[in-house]
Amino acid sequence: MYQRDQDKQKSLLAKAAIKYLEKGMVLGLGTGSTIDIFILELSKLENLFSSLKIVATSKISAKKARDNRMNVVAPDKYLELDICIDGADEVDRNLSMIKGGGGALLWEKIVAYRARKRIYLADESKQVTWLGAFPLPVEIIDYGHEWSAAAIEPLFKSVRLRKEATGNIIKTDSNNVIYDCLIKDEENTAALDSKLSEVPGVVTSGLFGQFIDILLTCRDGEVTEISSKENVFW
């Protein structure tokens, strides 16, 4: 897919997602390039966004929302999330996802788990038969992370510590590290996620198995809403 077409689809998806918002909602705000566009589109609707409370899934999304005069609040025991809107790096035919390319997988999972309704945005390039073309992020605590990485390495084709171009190790907003892991062909991702959770030091992975309530994606350049596996067309 050409970058121009992908950007156009992201814009269409962002505009479509706004239609699910109502005044006074508490919004779980995702992270990533599609959500950046969503923030810009929402910023044009002051009557709507000024009434929202927003819980962000990353410091960068929180800053972008605040820069656009939105009311960002911290997670709270008594705060009920009405809706979560986020992107995806891959979505398969079972509506399972890989997320975390932007490094926000832990906070994204925490926020999504709390939300009453979860809407994900994925352009056509994110539609896959099997998860795994996109490396799976695995978040690991900093202490002893090389030991934890060695423990999960047999589960994958390869694992690689995420670093900046300068060679500095990238840290998440929770001060953890991320290993990008290549999934084996046609892997049972539910079983894989279970195995990962057994390894001390592993915080979470970018596998999001049963999170989608509504998927907004594109078909022939037009927005399509999918709410069950029976509606998957790729």
Q: Beta-carbon neighbour count of residue 194 at 10 Å?
A: 11
Per the confidence metrics, is the pTM higher than 0.85? yes
The domain ranges of the chain are 3-128+209-229, 136-204
pLDDT for 112: 98
Q: Categorize the per-residue pLDDT at 214 as very low, low, confident or very high, splitting at 50, 70 and 90.
A: very high
Give the burial class of 41: count Cβ atoms within 10 A of its Cβ; 0-12 exposed, 13-18 middle, 19 or more buried.
middle
In CATH terms, 3-128+209-229 corresponds, of 3.40.50.2300, 3.40.50.300, 3.40.190.10, 3.40.50.1360, to 3.40.50.1360
| 3 confidence band (pLDDT: 50, 70, 90) | confident
- The amino acid present at 3, given as its one-letter code, is Q
**DSSP state letter for 153:** G
CATH 3.40.1190.10 is held by the domain 136-204:
no
- Which residues belong to the active site? 108
By CB neighbour count within 10 A (0-12 exposed, 13-18 middle, 19+ buried), where does 43 fall?
A: middle
Q: pLDDT category, 221, cuts 50, 70, 90?
A: confident
pLDDT 10s digits, 110-158? 999 999 999 999 999 999 999 999 999 999 999 999 999 999 999 999 9
